[in-house]
Structure 1
Amino acid sequence: MPRSTPLIALGFGLALAGCGGGPALDPMAGFGPDPVLPAPQRALIPVVNVAEAVGWPEGRTPTPAAGFRVQAFASGLDHPRWLCRLPNGDILVAETNAPPKPEGLESKAEGGLRGWFQTLFMKKAGARVPSPDRITLLRDSDGDGVAETRTVFLRNLMSPFGMALVGDTLYVANADAVMAFPYQTGQTQITAAGRKVADLPAGRNHHWTKSLVASPDGSRLYVGVGSNSNIGENGLVEEVDRAAILEIDPATGARRVFASGLRNPVGLAWQPDSGRLWVSVNERDELGNDLAPDYMTAVTPGGFYGWPWSYYGPIVDARVEPANPGMVARALKPDYALGAHTASLGLTFGEGGLFPVRYRGGAFVGQHGSWNRKPRNGYRVIFVPFVNGAPAGPPEDILTGFINENDQAMGRPVGVQFDARGALLVADDVGDAIWRVSPSV
């Protein structure tokens, strides 16, 4: 598939300009429905610029936008990543991390110099820790914004991520399968054995998270499955049913590709005004500081969004061989760019009456933060206003301050979800906390 970057010049100084990925544009470049995108820039080695994970010191929190306050809904968790609100107001949090790689299986992208830099990034980011493999239930019965009840709801899972309740069945997306568990309102633990609904692409797990959302009527499940590589360098046989949103019939386990060409589709949510499914997508690396932009988009059934042959619609990625003009011609342009390398993961839409009315129906996005960019990007939660079911304005900061004065990460936001009272919850997998954002008056 893609050409590899030659490294023969490594001994001659690593080409200082190349190590930086070229000049950086304005931090807000690469946002909006029609982003201005620069020409691609190829470096000799990947840019590795991740903030070292250090956690939160006592008494310190992220910084909310003006007019809001933040408090710890729960702390002392173990790598909390994804959130699900149950109808009775209980919050489920997936405490999870990447599964072990199959023994002896190493992708081309993970070998050599590039692999060494990726390993350095993972260690610095605090990401190479064993997965807790559990879902925890949090309950705030007295309404003070702090969960006083905490129980292990499900254990012995396999890198769980997405969750969805349909009637009396809780669906959980493990890294390798969708599982179903019986649920009764108010219970604080499930001990019943799960039932496998459908297998999911696993193996190398370059992108291991599997997001999950149910259709409004509960008749279908939608699962986001990321690619097994950056730009297909492991071969397309490794990408079957990957870089896609899969539609699954929970009654039979039958699945089909609902939309494809989405390098790493993570956050899935229904936009309340249009009724359409939206997704946040992490795009490819190693094209420079400002390419390619992550994005969110309404999902067109059967739509193809370019990966690996093109990005942001029909912009060809010349690294990918052989070229495929036919697929590039099919590529749909996403609805809204979220900045290059922001690692936009969490996605939810404004609801309830606690936030001011202008936030209703707009998108809240958890940006985990870049590793392949100088200067860094992301490490915040943003809001994008919507009008009539479509984005209608520039992004606004909702929660920032995740990087300290020493350029270290005290936290990194992932999943976002509203609680039953209308406050925004943010899972922080470096700070091991869930933050609660609410209006200050």
Structure 2
Amino acid sequence: MKSNNLLFTLAAAGTLLASCQQNKKPDPAKADTVASTAEQTVDLPPPYETKSVKNFCKVIGWPAGKTPTAPEGFKVSLYAEKLNNPRNIYIAPNGDVLVALATTEAKGLKKVGSALVGQDDSQNMGDSPNQIVILRDKDGDGVVDNKGMFLSGLNQPFGMAIIGRYFYVANTDGLWRYPYSPGDTRITKDGTRILKLPAGGYNNHWTRNLLVSADSSKIYITVGSGSNVAEHGLANEARRANILVVDKDGANEKIYASGLRNPVGVGFFPGTQTIWTAVNERDELGDMLVPDYLTSVKEGGFYGWPYAYFGQHEDPRLKGQRPDMVKKTIVPDVALGSHTASLGLAFYPDDAFGGKYKNAAFIGQHGSWNSSKLVGYKVVAVPFNGSKPGKPEDFLTGFVANEAKKEVYGRPVGVAVAKDGSLLVADDSGNKIWRVAAAK
């Protein structure tokens, strides 16, 4: 088969391109070359150049004393363990580490009337997901010495935020708000659902992440698609594949940006109110399609799903349905590899990791199932030169135990920067949180 590879030279004019692309028609003579902000070349083969496969990994767990591997100059240590599916990490203003425990299926819950109620809290807190736990390192030695139940009775929680006297959590089916006082170690008062959200989703698209504006007046909510490529119809995708924005009381919902298949990791570039997101792209077009990506998010912007991918490349499964939407598609900033399941995102605003990593984006790649080879299963860093991203680099590796046997020790997902400047990485399959710090 003729490959007809499409080469994208991504150079420095991306900000201008992103603002103009929706109205600019591509030059037929240069249709295969698109400028963007990353110094990166992305090779996109034609769809179906390789067969779509199902190639699931086998998690074997971490041997005693073994850790992931970071670059020279960094130390990796075990921060917390015996957590049941730690998916996302939130650092409270006082430094408390809050961890959302959840799985694809809402396990560990029983139905009481119309409410979902968690298991008895007297059990080991790690025995039931769909909870949030609180971790504290009281003596500052980089190891958790106090952990407890922070909030239970949830339905696949993921995003978390504290605004004033309220704690917010994004369950898969809604945004909830609970009374909170700074330093609380447990929430005991009832919460209120202030916004209903479309529940569940294709594969791991049940996650709903949160980002709060600098003035605390707005909450941005990520909602992944309900399917791979709208195969169940667009009615099934209402309010999905979007970043939504609401007032802090849940009112005045708007779509901030659309066409984002599964935007999970989300954050502001340090010192700005420019939103960036890590997006988990579509399946079943072959090993090398479609790259997951990191991108800045333009208000009102459309990023392609389901009609187009990585710019104005029409998905063959929806050929001819919406050429107008294909033309509107904004090219993302950085390709992160196809089928890597790039989910977590945290910017590093501190100096402790050295100049190379100042303002870098750290991205947790949960790992593949639709690739003939294991891909992802690591944390990558995207360095920035000013506001312009560079090429992704491996940062935390060693999660793959035996590629030939498809064995992995664990799978990284959520990432967060702790108050002490360390990087915390949630390993949901290993049931651990890893800590990466600059070596002294």
TM bin, normalised by shorter chain, reads: 0.7 to 0.9
1:189 aligns with 2:157: no
C-alpha displacement at 1:254, in angstroms? Answer: 2.7
Q: Which has the higher contact order (CA 8 A, sep 6+)?
A: 1
CA distance in 1, matches of 2:100, 2:79: 15
C-alpha displacement at 1:352, in angstroms? Answer: 2.3
Quote the residue 2:100 is aligned against.
94
CA distance in 1, matches of 2:56, 2:320: 32
CA distance in 2, matches of 1:418, 1:135: 18
CA distance in 2, matches of 1:183, 1:306: 39
* Amino acid aligned to 2:133: T
Per-residue Cα deviation, 1:75-106 (whole angstroms, up to 9, x for no partner)? 010000100001111100001112459xxxxx
Identity over aligned residues, as a percent? 47
Quote the residue 1:341 is aligned against.
339
1:41-440 to 2 correspondence within 5 Å? 41=48, 46-100=52-106, 132-202=129-199, 206=203, 207-320=205-318, 323-391=321-389, 393-405=390-402, 406-440=405-439
Per-residue Cα deviation, 1:183-234 (whole angstroms, up to 9, x for no partner)? 1122211011111110111155551111111111111111111111111000
Confirm or deny: 8 A CA contact 2:201 2:224 kept in the other structure.
no
CA distance in 1, matches of 2:163, 2:349: 20
TM-score (norm 1): 0.84
Confirm or deny: 8 A CA contact 1:344 1:365 kept in the other structure.
yes
How many pairs are equivalent? 386
Change in Cα spacing, 1:131 to 1:280, as seen in structure 2 (3 Å) is farther
Aligned to 1:339, the other structure's residue is in SS state strand
Confirm or deny: 8 A CA contact 1:133 1:160 kept in the other structure.
yes
* Amino acid aligned to 1:91: V
* Amino acid aligned to 2:388: A
Aligned to 1:157, the other structure's residue is in SS state coil
Per-residue Cα deviation, 1:115-135 (whole angstroms, up to 9, x for no partner)? xxxxxxxxxxxxxxx971100
Quote the residue 1:9 is aligned against.
none
Confirm or deny: 8 A CA contact 2:44 2:289 kept in the other structure.
yes
* Amino acid aligned to 2:55: N
C-alpha displacement at 1:354, in angstroms? Answer: 2.2
Per-residue Cα deviation, 1:148-169 (whole angstroms, up to 9, x for no partner)? 1101100000000001111121
Confirm or deny: 8 A CA contact 2:202 2:228 kept in the other structure.
no
Per-residue Cα deviation, 1:351-393 (whole angstroms, up to 9, x for no partner)? 22321133121111111111111222110001111122220x3
Quote the residue 2:43 is aligned against.
36
Confirm or deny: 8 A CA contact 1:296 1:334 kept in the other structure.
yes
CA distance in 2, matches of 1:271, 1:203: 29
Structure 1 range deviating more: 65-74 or 269-278: 269-278
* Amino acid aligned to 1:156: G
TM-score (norm 2): 0.84
Quote the residue 2:112 is aligned against.
none
Structure 1 range deviating more: 298-307 or 205-214: 205-214
Change in Cα spacing, 1:394 to 1:42, as seen in structure 2 (3 Å) is closer
CA distance in 2, matches of 1:69, 1:376: 26
CA distance in 2, matches of 1:437, 1:329: 42
* Amino acid aligned to 1:82: N
Aligned to 2:43, the other structure's residue is in SS state coil
Confirm or deny: 8 A CA contact 2:200 2:206 kept in the other structure.
no
CA distance in 2, matches of 1:306, 1:217: 30
Aligned to 1:36, the other structure's residue is in SS state strand
Confirm or deny: 8 A CA contact 2:172 2:200 kept in the other structure.
no
CA distance in 1, matches of 2:234, 2:88: 29
Confirm or deny: 8 A CA contact 2:201 2:227 kept in the other structure.
no
Structure 1's consecutive aligned runs of 4 or more residues displaced over 4 angstroms after TM superposition are 31-34, 203-206
CA distance in 2, matches of 1:197, 1:253: 8
Quote the residue 1:13 is aligned against.
none
Change in Cα spacing, 1:176 to 1:252, as seen in structure 2 (3 Å) is closer
Aligned to 2:325, the other structure's residue is in SS state helix
Change in Cα spacing, 1:430 to 1:100, as seen in structure 2 (3 Å) is closer
Aligned to 2:140, the other structure's residue is in SS state coil
Confirm or deny: 8 A CA contact 1:63 1:70 kept in the other structure.
yes
CA distance in 1, matches of 2:272, 2:76: 30
CA distance in 2, matches of 1:100, 1:235: 25
C-alpha displacement at 1:407, in angstroms? Answer: 3.5
* Amino acid aligned to 1:245: I
CA distance in 1, matches of 2:237, 2:56: 27
Confirm or deny: 8 A CA contact 2:77 2:434 kept in the other structure.
yes
Confirm or deny: 8 A CA contact 2:168 2:178 kept in the other structure.
yes
Structure 1 range deviating more: 47-56 or 363-372: 47-56
* Amino acid aligned to 2:429: V
* Amino acid aligned to 1:148: D
Confirm or deny: 8 A CA contact 1:99 1:158 kept in the other structure.
no
Confirm or deny: 8 A CA contact 1:274 1:389 kept in the other structure.
no
C-alpha displacement at 1:32, in angstroms? Answer: 5.9
Structure 2 unmatched ranges of 5 or more: 6-37, 108-126
CA distance in 2, matches of 1:225, 1:416: 19
CA distance in 1, matches of 2:196, 2:134: 25
